[in-house]
Amino acid sequence: MTNKQYSDSWQRKITAKLIEGFEEMDEAEFDSAYNKLDYEYQSRVDHARREFVDAAVGDEHWDSDD
């Protein structure tokens, strides 16, 4: 999915904001910004959030069935 409405520089800026501040952000504010991003930038945010949760839990396999 490509979002031609927003430039790469704008998406990089929003991606950094979402990654750095997702803990403090209101859910609606986060979702609004996240949904404006291309799939590539959403994936970066998803990856960063996943790394955060893995570190907080202390195990990258915390949600596996093993």
Torsion angles phi and psi, residue 40, rounded to 5: -60, -45
Phi and psi (nearest 5°) for 25?
A: -75, 145
44 or 1, which is more confident?
Answer: 44
Distance CA 56, CA 61 (A): 12
Q: Is the pTM of this model over 0.85?
A: no
* Per-residue pLDDT, 1: 47
Q: For 25-52, what is each residue's pLDDT tens digit?
A: 999 999 999 999 999 999 999 999 888 8
